[in-house]
Structure 1
Amino acid sequence: MISTILHLSEGLAVRALVAGQGTPVLLIHGVGLCAEAWAPQFDAFAADHRVIAVDMPGHGASDRLPGTPVLADFVAWAAQVIMALDCGPVAVVGHSMGALIATGLAVEHPQLVSCAALLNPVYQRSAAARAAVMERAAQIAAADFDPEAPLDRWFDPEEGELRMLTSQWLRQNSPEGYGAAYRAFAAGDSVYAGRIAQISCPLLALTGANDLNSTPAMATALADAAPFGRAVIIDGHRHMVHLTAPDVVSQELRNWLVPAEVSS
């Protein structure tokens, strides 16, 4: 695995971890995490794919987006990343906020996306759920937020080692970068929700059965709205399913990749 810095047209730096050769797979993590959160997927795919995991803007060693970015700005950023890598179209895998970005890519830039996998996606939150996430965004912006709080929602008690590792990632991020991304995430679930039917590539919507925020109902509704959508619910897992059930998730990702690779 090689760590490299990409430079986008606006001068923004993007850190990427790259390994392997073959069909390109782009991995976009969720808010507060980093490229290293995809370690199990590197292990599963780098032997026969070109795997690229990026630090999202304002996370890890990637520059923040200017101003007060919204989800569409993160989608435009991801499109520039693919063009800078000169490897499109890619199979794009996004987790949580990364799933919103992957959705936007498939809608706005279909020529850059061969297939899209949305892990623990949010989709058309209820009014109460939207209010709760907007409140958390406000707390982060005011630097009045416990970075341990999400971990209680993301992990079961027996997943202590993964929880500790994720806590380290959360604490490494700048409050500004974390806050900007979370604001976009909080307001982003409805941005492309009405355009899912435009996604013409294979789409996988996968979540944990016990994920209270990216619920099985959301994943199922999202997949049903896509012409070539499929929902997968992993029993006994929560929001960090790609870490807590890596073998199951990697097998589902292989199943999702096959149609796109055959058609290409």
Structure 2
Amino acid sequence: MLPARLLDVDGRTFRVWSSQRGDAKATFVLVHGIGISHRLFSRLHGVLSARHTVHTLDLPGFGGLPKPDDSPDVAEMAAGIATVLGRIGAGPVVAVGNSMGSQWVVELGAQRPDLVSHVVTIGPVADARHRSPLAQATALGADMLREPPTANTRVLMEYARSGVRWYLQQLPHMLSYRIEDRVADLAQPLLVLRGGWDPIAGREWCRRLRDGARRGRMVEVPRHPHLAQHTSPRATAAALEWFLDEEGT
């Protein structure tokens, strides 16, 4: 993996971790969820980089990066990611997001179909059953009972780094973004991936997203919760490979 690059986009700092391959089958961009960072994608990054070029992002305010003066909404954050991709010369990419990252990559794909060939959502939010802070916190608590201790420890450390204030500034954007409407605007194929034990992104909700897309597919990773890309990176990578084979690279 190359050393991290810091990129300023309109006063907001992004960090990019890259693994380049001259013989890459595809180029992936991995986008973390609310409160966390690239560290919850590091295992999947490692597996994918054996065959592909992979860029994993840290978004402004997360992973110890400076907090912006404002709180960009989903559309603004996606536009910032597009600028980052342009600066690093990446595209078209397979855009993969976990949790709130799923919103950012769906919005990116809708805004910039020239930059995104495929869209992948892992544990997409916000499930229509969890569109209040209390409901979301309850689902998160249920998930923490199912995640392994190593995952919970990492998540709590990441939450501490991003801080409660920044989390709460971004949370309203997450809860109000209607991803179920936006997937219909995607020209690209969409893969909805969830852990079979994920209480945050339920099965019926994920089916709804799949069915709302023009070209939607869905995969479950059995016996894994919300952070399937972290707890089962090889199965997740296999699902991504299958998706590319089925939909073309």
**TM-score normalised to the size of structure 1?**
0.84
Q: Distance in 1 between matches of 2:73 and 2:27?
A: 27
1:5 maps to a residue whose letter is R
Q: Are residue 106 (structure 1) and residue 115 (structure 2) matched?
A: no
Number of matched pairs: 246
2:62 maps to 59
Paired AA for residue 50 in structure 1: T
CA shift in 2, pair 1:258/1:65, >3 Å: farther
Superposed displacement of residue 101, structure 1: 0.5
Q: 1:207 aligns with which of 194, 202, 215?
A: 194
Distance in 2 between residues matched to 1:12 and 1:68, nearest whole Å: 10
Q: Does 2:174 align with 1:185?
A: yes
CA deviation after TM superposition for structure 1 residue 20, in Å:
2.9
- How far apart, in 2, do the equivalents of 1:81 and 1:216 lie? 33
Distance in 1, Cα, partners of 2:117 & 2:83: 16
Q: Is the 8 A contact 1:205 1:229 kept in 2?
A: yes
Contact kept? 1:27, 1:54, Cα under 8 Å: yes
Change (3 A) 1:156 1:113: same
- Post-superposition Cα deviations, 1:165-201, rounded to whole Å, max 9, x if no partner, equal 222222222333322222321222x1x4323222121
TM-score by length of 2: 0.88
SS at match of 1:2: coil
Q: Distance in 2 between matches of 1:77 and 1:51?
A: 18
- Alignment of 1:45 with 2:48, yes or no, is yes
CA distance in 2, matches of 1:67, 1:205: 31
What amino acid sits opposite 1:114 in the alignment? S
Asked whether the equivalents of residues 123 and 219 of structure 1 are also in contact (C-alpha less than 8 Å), the reply is no
Q: Are 1:169 and 2:179 matched, yes or no?
A: no
Hey, what's the Cα distance between the residues in 2 that align with 1:57 and 1:251? Answer: 30
Give structure 1 stretches of 5+ with no counterpart.
137-148
Counterparts of 1:233 and 1:166, CA distance in 2: 22
Cα drift, residue 246 of structure 1: 1.9
Unaligned runs of 5+ in 2: none
Cα distance in 2 for residues equivalent to 1:3 and 1:64: 22
Q: Distance in 2 between matches of 1:132 and 1:11?
A: 29
Provide the C-alpha distance between the structure 2 equivalents of 1:123 and 1:167, rounded to a whole number of angstroms: 20
What's 2:5 paired with? 5
C-alpha contact (below 8 Å) 1:58/1:176 kept by paired residues: no
Summarize the Cα distance change of 1:10–1:33 in structure 2 as closer, same or farther, 3 Å threshold. Answer: same
For the aligned residue pairs, the C-alpha RMSD in angstroms reads: 2.3
- CA offset at residue 259 of structure 1? 4.8
